[in-house]
Structure 1
């Protein structure tokens, strides 16, 4: 998802797959001596856990998971709807690792391919 305010050149990007956030604010950054401040976070993957009743939570990861954290998520996964829950990580190598579950099909294709497969009336909803 992208939100750009062209008059002040503020931009906000959020990836619904890996959780990457890019925020550019129109305010002076003294540290970098620029007329804008940039904050970048996330992008390490996401966890989607859905109960058998249909309640769900999505967590965007802010860093690589430790072995203990991965084990904890796997334990929680055992009590979830396994068809609709998943944990995927991204380590910056161009590939996602699916640790468990079933991510949506559009998570596994390129963004360009995803847009091409969307009905024309929904393509503007993506941004």
Structure 2
């Protein structure tokens, strides 16, 4: 199977999102590691020449990213927030960031509600809130890029 993996403007927040387009099968995946938007278009089944697809879309509500100071721990990594959090869940995420083993310079908790990003804790990367067009111009200074590189943050 062939796919094109690239950065695109997030359909929800407008920042840099990752798109994985399986052009031979028509399947498509989008993840925004800024607002948490997630989209999947997958083959349900194939009968003869007919291929119905399932489409799933989650409007993003933010991102939680945890990095330990030393050895990587089980709860390290990115968590896409694809639904509003309860007060208890908010408190649980805040408590995770209070752990002494957490590197607060690299970890962050960002909410996205009603078109607005709010940093709850930590330090998102400098380019975290950049609109896609600004990001695209920074990585492709001559604007000759056919495929915009994926933003790893």
TM more than 0.5: yes
Is 2:139 the partner of 1:118?
Answer: yes
The aligned residue for residue 2 of structure 1 is 19
Q: Which has the higher contact order (CA 8 A, sep 6+)?
A: 2
**Following TM superposition, by how much is the alpha carbon of 1:38 offset from its aligned partner in structure 2, in angstroms?**
0.5
TM-score, scaled relative to structure 2: 0.67
C-alpha distance 68-9 of structure 1, shift in aligned 2 (>3 A):
same
Q: Which residue of 2 aligns with 1:48?
A: 65
Which structure is higher in helix share?
A: 1
Post-superposition Cα deviations, 1:51-86, rounded to whole Å, max 9, x if no partner, equal 221633211113112222212222221122221111
Q: Normalized against structure 1, the TM-score is what? A: 0.79
| C-alpha distance in structure 1 between counterparts of 2:148 and 2:132, whole Å | 14
2:122 to 82, 85, 101: 101
Residue 85 of structure 2 is aligned to residue 68 of structure 1: no
SS class of match (2:127): helix
Whether the aligned pair in 2 keeps the contact of 1:13 and 1:22 (CA below 8 Å) is yes
Q: Map 1:78-93 to 2 at 5 A.
A: 78-79=98-99, 80-91=102-113, 93=114
Aligned residue pair count: 120
d(CA) in 2 for partners of 1:20 and 1:7? 24
Q: Could you tell me which residue of structure 1 aligns to residue 77 of structure 2?
A: 57
Gapped runs of 5+ residues in structure 2?
A: 1-17, 46-50
Aligned twin of 1:31: none
Q: Secondary structure at the match of 1:69?
A: helix
